[in-house]
Structure formats: C-alpha cells, structure tokens
Amino acid sequence: MTGPENESMNEQRYLALKARDSRFDGLFFTGVTSTGIYCRPVCRVRTPKRENCRFFSQAAQAEGAGFRPCLRCRPELAPRGQALNRGAGVSVWSVQDASSILASQAANLIDSHEGSSGTTPSMQQLAQRLGVSDRHLRRIFEAHFGVSPLQYLQTRRLLSAKQFLTDTTLPVSEVARLSGFASVRRFNAVFAQHYALSPSQLRRSRGAVDSGRTEPGIVLKLAYRPPYDVGAMLQFFASRCVAGIEHVTLLPTHMSVSKTVSLDIGQHHYCGWLVARFDAVGHRLELRLSDSLRPVLPVMLARARALLDLDADPLAINTVLHESFPKGDGLRVPGSLDGFELAIRAVLGQQITVAAARTLTARLVQAFGEPIETPVTGLNRLFPRAAALAHASPDALGRLGIVKPRQTAIQALAGAVLTQGLALHAGADVEATMTALKALPGIGDWTAQYVAMRALRWPDAFPAGDVALHRALGLQGSKHPAKEAELKSRAWQPWRSYAVIRAWKELAT
C-alpha cells in the first residue's frame, strides 16, 4: 500500500515506537536502515530517526527486505499478529473474500505448528490440508501478506530456532529439528545467511542460560499486549479446576496456572506438565515445561499461547466491544491445551452448574486418567485419552454419575477423534469442524460454539442458546431469547467470543 493512507499509518507507528507502546507489540516491526536490524515497538534501544525507519506488518516482510532480528527486544517473543485473529475459514468474515480467508487459514496452520511431527508443517502439507495446489496457495498468500508462504514459514522456523538457542541449552541439532529444518547443515546455512552469524555464535553472544536454576524443566519466555486482566483469566480456570490435572495460584506475587499435558500428535503420544507464570508488570509470561515435552516444544508454545489467549489484539477488540462492555477491556477468551479434553468437559457441563461439571470431570479423570509423576504439588493425573473413553463400558461411565445421553456423546466424540481424525485445535477449519461436531449424537450448537470459542480459537463464536448469556443480556423473560441474543450480537462481530466472556463476567459480578 502506498500513498497518503500508508504514510499516515507509518506516522502512527512511529509515535507508538517512540512511546514504546506495548499495545502495538507484534502488530508491526520497524526496520532501521542505519543498522540493518528490525525491532519490536517495545524495544528499549534509542529511538531511531524517522527517516531511517521502515515499517512492516510481518516479521517475514522485514527479513525479506534484508533486516536481521534485534538481539535485545527479540522479535520471536512478540505476540502473533493479525493472522491468528481472523479465524480459520468461516464465512462470518464478511469483510474478507475467500482468498483472504485461505491466506489467514494457512498462516494459522503455520503458527500452530500442527505438522505431523509436532513442528511447522511443510508447504506440501499446508496445501494438502487446505485442499489447494502449491501454486494457488503461494499466489493467494503473497497477495494477502506481502510475502510468500515459504518466506513466512522460513521466518517462523528461524525465529523459533532463535528462541530455543537463546532460552534453552538444547543441542543445536535438536533445535534444528524442532524448528522444522531437515538437516543441521541446512539449518546452519540458512541461519548464517539470514542472521549473519552461526547458531553457536548466537548462543555464545547471548551468554549461557541461567545455570543456577534449580527448578526442573525447560523455561521459555512469551509476551502479550496489554490490557490483560490476569486475575480474571486465572479465576476462570480456578472455578473449573479439577484436582490432579490442574492447579491455579492467585497470589499477588505469584499468579500462575499449572496443568498436566497429554497429547496425541500423529502416531505419537506425549505427556508431561507445564507451569505458566505471569509477569503482569512486564507483560510477559514464563513458561516451564517438562523435559518429556521437548520433542513437541513448538506445539506446546503455540498451545500455551492459545490457552491464555496471548495473541489477542485488545485495540481491535475494544474498538468494537468497549461501548457495550466498558469494564471488560482486559478480558481474554480462555483457551485449552487439548481440544479433546475441552470438548469432553463441555459435554459433561451441558445443562448443569460449573461445580457439578467439575465433580463429574474429577470422577472421569480418576477412573480413566493415567497417573503421572510431576514436581508440581497436586499434579498427578492425566486427562483420559480418546481410546480409553471410546472403549469404556457404559456401565463404568454410568457409575460416575454420567447420564446415558452424555455417555453416548462422550463415546461418539472420542471415537471421532480416534478414528476419523477430528482435529480440535487452533488452525483447524472451524466451519467443517463445527459441522462434524454437530453431526455427533448429543452435541448441539451450544457445545459446538463453546468448543469453537475455546479450542479452535474462533473469535466470533456465539452460543446464542446459553441461559447464562440470556440473563447477562437481560433476555431471560423473552419468548425467543436465542434469536434476540443472535440479533443483538451482530453489533459485536467479529469479536463475539470476547463479548460472551464479558457478558458472563458481568453476570458473575
């Protein structure tokens, strides 16, 4: 884009850069022509002169223009940009045409790292999953993002590698594999070509990772854009917390969520634990993961971002929702590490209270979940795998207090995940996934919308039939509350998932 509109935008970006405004973190990057480096808006270095600044919406654009990432502000830590907030192929995005939706869906798949090996998918995998040719995907993606999907993919891989080299002591060979490179030789060559130093030189230049740390696990850093109501997010999880698989700490000096992890990726099963601890002052998150999750670190990073909605863009969301929900500017949509777990818990929670759903889930975990040893107090169980629930006897489920319609829904859902490859994670096709969910017995629109909102990360999900939502919107006395809620919600598109969270919060307070 050129002309007065682009120049006006760049002037606004420069003002944000001068103010080091963290609300714009990850929404643009600044290439400094005098140094050849590109930075986040929050970088603490001296502000460059305006004439030396070039602005880019994507890190891949900056690297494609020949800029190298800043070693101080570390662009790899920035929240993801707009692509993740555009859903995954749902027609509600009336302002987007099919080409834009396809490009955004491809970016989602790259950012979610949901390749068969737990790393970023290849170009061939991307095109195949989207049902288009490589050539068509390249053309559409470049028109939408200004870079080819291969450039976008390569930048993501390089930035992932840069983060692993800086934050961990993982061997370079393992960093190469986790970042999606076929060989160490290829990794070294591409890294040196783009960053003008070798992986080992980068690691030496950044110094050794803190060797005095006594806590077990791998520690990585993440960032988010303010405002973020950390207390509200953790309270949401705390009210639904199931003993054995999760724990929430809500102290002023320690705000964290801990969970056990059980993931099936491709033909492999991975289990372990994580602890996500907030630094609200620095708008950062420290993520500690068990060593057993090393093979799927990129997936875990992406899913941790989804769990805590770290990539939300409050400026865009609040522009639409602030007038209707003025007290909710810092609220985020709680996500999930495992969409299958979230979907089962949604089924268990149908038409009962949150407390009752928590009790049923705890029983299910104790009966069918496998034990696990962790260094985190209270974390000692894994959520049941799809195979365990698909093959469970109805009597065994019934003894837990689960009624027959819920038994049928749970086993149908587990069977679909196990045998049909039903994908329940960010990056999955929302429209197709919701259709598949609603085709299962016992799963209606409310459950499908709830799964889309929390597991698929669809920002415009709206469970119009939700009774609590009706009360929050003052529609409990209406003859057709679901229809009226749907009509009322049109003003909140495309951020209705956030409107739902804000409405629920207002009802609770």
Q: Would you please indicate which residues are annotated as catalytic (active-site) residues?
A: 39, 466
Question: CA 307, 312, 318, 321 torsion: positive or negative?
Answer: negative
Complete edge-to-edge strand list for the sheet that includes strand 68-69: 53-56, 29-32, 37-39, 68-69
Distance of CA 145 to the CA centre of its chain: 20
Q: Which two tokens stand for residue 173?
A: 């060979």
| Residue that has been written with the tokens 């950390």 in this structure | 230
How many Å apart are CA 299 and CA 278, to the nearest integer? Answer: 20
Please compute Rg for the chain using Cα positions. Answer: 23
| Residue that has been written with the tokens 């030189």 in this structure | 201
Q: Which residue blocks in 280-385 are alpha helix, DSSP H?
A: 297-308, 314-321, 339-348, 354-368
> Nearest-CA neighbor of 269 among 379, 164, 386?
386
How many Å apart are CA 188 and CA 182, to the nearest integer? Answer: 11
Question: CA 262, 263, 267, 268 torsion: positive or negative?
Answer: negative
How many Å apart are CA 351 and CA 361, to the nearest integer? Answer: 14
Please count the helices (runs of H) and the strands (runs of E) in the chain: 22, 9
Q: Are strands 68-69 and 37-39 parallel, antiparallel or unpaired?
A: parallel
Q: Which two tokens stand for residue 417?
A: 């995940």
* C-alpha count within 13 angstroms, C-beta hemisphere, residue 377: 2
> Nearest-CA neighbor of 246 among 410, 394, 326, 358?
358
How many Å apart are CA 48 and CA 276, to the nearest integer? Answer: 34
Secondary structure class of 271 (helix, strand, coil): strand
Q: Which two tokens stand for residue 345?
A: 């818990």
> Nearest-CA neighbor of 26 among 11, 16, 37?
16
How many Å apart are CA 424 and CA 336, to the nearest integer? Answer: 10
Complete edge-to-edge strand list for the sheet that includes strand 284-289: 218-223, 284-289, 268-279, 254-265, 246-251
